[in-house]
Homo-oligomer: A and B are copies of this chain.
Amino acid sequence: MLKRQRLLTIRNLVDRKGIVTVNEIGAELNVSTMTVRRDLAELAEKHAIIRVHGGAQSPKLAQKQDQELSRLEKRDLRVEEKRQIAAQAAQLIEVGDTIFIGPGTTNEFIADYLTLPELRVVTNSLPVFDSFKSKADRYELCLVGGTYRERSGAFIGNLAIEMLEHLRTTKAFVSANGVCDSIVSNANADEGQIQRMALNNSRQRYILADHTKLDTEDFYGFYSLDDVDGLITDTSIEDEQRSDYSKLTHIITSE
Q: Contact residues of A with B, CB < 8 Å?
A: 2-5, 8, 19, 21, 46-48, 52-55, 57, 59, 65, 69-70, 72-73, 75-76, 124, 129, 133, 136-137, 140-148, 150, 155, 159-160, 162-163, 166-167
A186 CB to closest chain B CB (Å) equals 21
Residue of B nearest to A75 (CB): B47
Given A19-B5, A52-B2: A147 touches B137 (CB 8 Å cut-off): no
Q: Are B142 and A4 in contact (CB under 8 A)?
A: no
Residue of B nearest to A158 (CB): B166
**Which of the residues B48, B57, B142, B145 comes within 8 Å of A73, measured between beta carbons?**
B48
A76 CB to closest chain B CB (Å) equals 6
A2 CB to closest chain B CB (Å) equals 5
Interface centre among A137, A155, A159, A167 (most CB of B within 10 A): A159
**Which of the residues B19, B47, B142 comes within 8 Å of A148, measured between beta carbons?**
B142
Q: Are A52 and B141 in contact (CB under 8 A)?
A: no
A153 CB to closest chain B CB (Å) equals 9
Inter-chain CA distance A129–B159, complex, in Å, is: 16
Given A46-B76, A163-B159: A52 touches B143 (CB 8 Å cut-off): no
Given A142-B148, A148-B141: A73 touches B54 (CB 8 Å cut-off): no
Q: Are B47 and A73 in contact (CB under 8 A)?
A: yes
Inter-chain CA distance A19–B1, complex, in Å, is: 10
Inter-chain CA distance A157–B148, complex, in Å, is: 20
Chain B residues within 8 Å of A8, by CB? 65
Chain B residues within 8 Å of A142, by CB? 145-148, 159
Inter-chain CA distance A72–B162, complex, in Å, is: 33
In the complex, 5 of the A-B residue pairs with CB atoms within 8 angstroms, ordered by the A residue number, are A4-B53, A47-B73, A133-B148, A136-B148, A145-B155
Residue of B nearest to A8 (CB): B65
Q: Are B55 and A73 in contact (CB under 8 A)?
A: no
Inter-chain CA distance A72–B147, complex, in Å, is: 26
A38 CB to closest chain B CB (Å) equals 14
Q: Which 4 pairs show the lowest CB-CB distances between chains A and B?
A: A145-B145, A141-B148, A136-B150, A143-B145
